[in-house]
Structure 1
């Protein structure tokens, strides 16, 4: 099913938004989408949007952008749907529809939920690169090998990489809005999706009724430039929380010292010890060289989720006490195995090489962090000859908007911490920043936060929000042994 660029006549603009679901989306087909390895499924209606790859050449290469809609349960939906914008960059919005449909179920009672795969992801000309042992590669710091494999993939992509930026993605969102004739939309962005939400808000302010930014990327931030500092901050808060909890403190005494010993034990070079790790899905033994970069990558990915965060004290203590990081690497491989299939790595670099790397700042103290300058090193390697898109001159300049902006942060987020939320709250005059205590990256999936988000979108106002449930949020219990969390 194809939708061309010509838009509906003004006399028809409001009709689709006010019609019953079967009429609003009669041009879409019923589909079943899955997430979490097929364990979570959801029914939706799916279709494609046809757009020009290069907006200045409308008759040139065309892209089929896949999207899915979960119609409102009410027969006649409120005429301003919710557009969910996925993270990464490189994540498919449709891939996480089953998870977000549950989190946004109260919103979905009256409003349609729309999930458009950003160009370069999912079903929208995905810039995927099947790397050798790609899930292990997330724990490996072989930047030369990564760059070589990406070069091979680039040669096979049917894409002009200059037109896979956030600004291009915002233009695609506007095309979809215009096709259905929605006067306004509500935006929910998670992680990198918060950048896309802000770019759309700047470009089309009159089309936005409300915005939710979950794990916000500040406008001025060159994404990745501060990852080392933010990871160290999250680990420090996590270790302090363990020290403040008697059973965790007694089981893992002097955790800061154990962590320091662990960092000192593994070199920055390629001279780390070889360990055998069992692949969580394939069941085969993997020979992995464990270096300082491997340690950093392992802890970084484990720090995203509040569940895996609570394993970190146990894993750090064991690795420091025994000198054997095998279990730490094994647990990290479970996470990276799940991530490897979620991110279109070509889109990740198409965005990063155009929007972040050219102006990458020198961040004081970054070289002394666990991650060090590894993020810059990988982007230096990949972006040196990457075709870059044109960046608007005000792209990283803060701006204000009339639409109300609800900002959500997790207290222990290792990549977009509450300080970024404070920064966004200061930028937007109509904004409110809420912090979920003890939570990690992306918090709207918590029932409490999802209820707050639903109320906010219903009223597009902060005055009626009941945020008392946030006081009852907290961290997951720490793992004290292999049996799991303390009872």
Structure 2
């Protein structure tokens, strides 16, 4: 089904900043609750719900309820707590509480994990049933436009105003949480989209911050929708260049970059066809490049082998790698509410096609016509302004991360006067959560949060950040 652009137009004129309710005019409600995620018995956890206004400009606009988990410090101290802000937008976030031992600061600090408004464990949860399957083109699932329009209509019928679900609101939820718990200060640890929330909080409530860790930053100034396809191409080119610099990789996969990109260019004109015993599979250029997963250290180590199989048109090697890559925990309504109101409208992508698409990929997290179908209004320009801050900040970036590349970190640093960036060699997205690697990014984050000033002046930098040997690429056929 196609939808006329005039049916539900995407707003392109920024609104004026709205006047929020004064905080003394409402009281966030913090209540003990039953657990929604199981925490290992070796740790003490407290479970709460926080209820706040859905719309802080309208006292009659209803409320949202957010589950909160506190992993209590194993050795209590006076150090301020650390808050984890998950990515997405739309991931549930609370599952991190099931693995508290992965976060070294739980030894002497309280660790706060909360579900952002609109996500799976929050109420209301902005789910769009069937959209994941529609994006994956599962037979009988319907067209994404149809599913999104039905989702938007259902949410409206349930009394949900999707314009209440945006980054500034999440940052205000955090501030209400801080006040409700009675903390004077704390530190924020943001992952991917969570870094945008953290930067918004720093801009609006920076006086309450001790430090920021931004893993895989998405600053307001970065235009994801205008650059994502080119960033992916650059990441793949970097893999090929680094393979050529390693003798074993260069011998196994000679001229990898030239052969791989030639194969992708050929597939843009005509899909590759691979026959199996039961069917013939056609893979477009977009299908093929999507097989090169750069999200984790393990996948990155296999990237040259996958690129080589694509370059050789080796169907036997390629076909087992075909997968949808779609996550299962997204609250798609939250994702659409955020992206369609504050990211896409401020991109050039909203005004036309990208200048340089790569392998058929369009530089967009959400296509404009899907945002039009969802029908959420644009947020004011003030909410997407760069964060100017002197809060001590550590930025972690993976060298091969195509989603939030190191260039995004450099953009963020331009307005952070006490910031420093750590680029992880051969690293992917959210390297502090790379549990299969050497833990260098998490060690750095821990050292920084223990002593932000010392880290920034060089006295607390962990050895792995300077002595780290990047993981080797895997050669096909090696044991």
Instruction: Mark yes or no: TM-score above 0.5.
Output: yes
Greater CA drift, 196-205 or 424-433: 424-433
Superposed displacement of residue 117, structure 1: 0.8
1:86 aligns with 2:86: yes
Matched residues, number: 442
Aligned to 2:472: 477
Aligned to 1:349: 336
User: C-alpha separation between the residues in 1 aligned to 2:78 and 2:446?
Assistant: 15
Superposed displacement of residue 275, structure 1: 6.9
Classify 1:127/1:377 alpha carbon distance in 2 versus 1 (closer, same or farther; 3 Å): closer
Aligned to 2:286: 293
Superposed displacement of residue 129, structure 1: 2.5
Contact 1:90 1:343 in 2 (8 A): yes
Note the residue ranges of structure 2 that are not aligned, 5 or more in a row: 1-24
Superposed displacement of residue 328, structure 1: 3.6
Three-state SS of the structure 2 residue aligned to 1:178 is helix
User: C-alpha separation between the residues in 1 aligned to 2:129 and 2:355?
Assistant: 31
Greater CA drift, 51-60 or 142-151: 142-151
List aligned pairs for 1:430-449, cutoff 5 A: 430-445=418-433, 447-449=439-441
The runs of at least 4 aligned residues of structure 1 exceeding 4 Å deviation read 28-32, 271-277, 285-289, 362-367
Provide Cα deviations, 1:278-337, integer angstroms capped at 9, x if missing partner. xxxxxxx998652222223333xx11212112222212222332352x64454352x72x
Classify 1:383/1:32 alpha carbon distance in 2 versus 1 (closer, same or farther; 3 Å): closer
Classify 1:209/1:190 alpha carbon distance in 2 versus 1 (closer, same or farther; 3 Å): same
Provide Cα deviations, 1:390-431, integer angstroms capped at 9, x if missing partner. 523223332321311111111111121222222222221111
Aligned to 1:223: 224
Superposed displacement of residue 128, structure 1: 2.3
List aligned pairs for 1:133-152, cutoff 5 A: 134=133, 137-138=135-136, 145-152=143-150
User: C-alpha separation between the residues in 2 aligned to 1:26 and 1:47?
Assistant: 5
List aligned pairs for 1:40-439, cutoff 5 A: 44-78=45-79, 80-99=80-99, 101-105=100-104, 107-124=105-122, 125-131=124-130, 134=133, 137-138=135-136, 145-157=143-155, 158=158, 159-267=160-268, 273=273, 289-299=282-292, 302-324=293-315, 327-328=317-318, 330-333=320-323, 336=325, 339-361=326-348, 367-372=355-360, 374-376=362-364, 378-439=366-427
Three-state SS of the structure 1 residue aligned to 2:397 is strand
Classify 1:447/1:98 alpha carbon distance in 2 versus 1 (closer, same or farther; 3 Å): farther
Aligned Cα RMSD in Å? 3.4
Greater CA drift, 201-210 or 306-315: 306-315
Classify 1:112/1:95 alpha carbon distance in 2 versus 1 (closer, same or farther; 3 Å): same
Three-state SS of the structure 1 residue aligned to 2:68 is strand
Classify 1:184/1:392 alpha carbon distance in 2 versus 1 (closer, same or farther; 3 Å): farther
Greater CA drift, 143-152 or 351-360: 143-152
Greater CA drift, 189-198 or 152-161: 152-161
User: C-alpha separation between the residues in 1 aligned to 2:396 and 2:476?
Assistant: 32
Classify 1:286/1:54 alpha carbon distance in 2 versus 1 (closer, same or farther; 3 Å): farther
User: C-alpha separation between the residues in 2 aligned to 1:286 and 1:76?
Assistant: 62
Superposed displacement of residue 240, structure 1: 1.0
Three-state SS of the structure 2 residue aligned to 1:119 is coil
Contact 1:425 1:432 in 2 (8 A): yes
Aligned to 1:22: none
Aligned to 1:33: 38
**TM-score of the pair, normalised by structure 2:** 0.82
Three-state SS of the structure 1 residue aligned to 2:254 is coil
Provide Cα deviations, 1:432-454, integer angstroms capped at 9, x if missing partner. 11111121111223522222222
Provide Cα deviations, 1:169-198, integer angstroms capped at 9, x if missing partner. 111111111111111110111111110001
Three-state SS of the structure 2 residue aligned to 1:63 is strand
Superposed displacement of residue 348, structure 1: 1.4
Classify 1:115/1:328 alpha carbon distance in 2 versus 1 (closer, same or farther; 3 Å): farther
User: C-alpha separation between the residues in 2 aligned to 1:480 and 1:254?
Assistant: 15
Note the residue ranges of structure 1 that are not aligned, 5 or more in a row: 9-24, 278-284
Classify 1:209/1:143 alpha carbon distance in 2 versus 1 (closer, same or farther; 3 Å): farther
Aligned to 1:19: none
Superposed displacement of residue 265, structure 1: 3.2
Provide Cα deviations, 1:205-249, integer angstroms capped at 9, x if missing partner. 111111111111122123332111111111111111111112221
User: C-alpha separation between the residues in 2 aligned to 1:192 and 1:289?
Assistant: 34
Superposed displacement of residue 97, structure 1: 3.3
Contact 1:31 1:45 in 2 (8 A): no
**TM-score of the pair, normalised by structure 1:** 0.81
Contact 1:33 1:43 in 2 (8 A): no
